[in-house]
Amino acid sequence: MKVVETEIEGVIILEPSVFEDVRGHFFESYNKRDFSKYLPNLDFVQDNQSFSTYGVLRGLHFQRGESAQSKLVRVLQGEILDVAVDLRTESKTYLQYVKAILSDENKRQLFIPKGFAHGFVVLSETATVLYKCDEFYNPQAEDGLRYDDPKLNIDWGIDESSLIINRKDLEYQFL
């Protein structure tokens, strides 16, 4: 597995070793022993999976307080633009973000530590996204930021008229 550092401390891209032959391919998407070399004391407790069509934007979501979650995001089918926004007020990269293209072809995974808002937009016709979390979902701790917050100025990579966003995500406040 290759670990790619990003411009924001703690957010990393993981590129698995892929073994291909006439049958197809094989790779380990998660191995606790190997991951603990890079992410010690991390214990995933919940897997979440979503299926979306082109233009669906999910986010920017996060959990507050004790329910804050680290996430390991990957795409089982399709392609997304994944975004992690640093909400750690003590961080030198506060309100900066990392973007990564994740797809079933590149097999990249994005690790997002606690203290970040997370969202993605589907770039392919459809996409199935799987992410592991190190804390259980708590509806009372759920929160979010507007995807189009002018202070963040995120370029989602597709025309705004193509975006499909649910009402709840549109009701989040600007910073």
- Residues annotated as part of the active site: 61, 131
- The C-alpha angle 97, 39, 99, rounded to 5 degrees, equals 20
What are the C-alpha distances in Å from 118 to residues 27, 156, 163? 25, 13, 17
Q: Which of 74, 93, 83 is nearest to 10 (CA)?
A: 93
Say if CB 112 and CB 71 are below 8 A apart.
yes
In sequence order, the β-bridge partners of residue 98 are 84
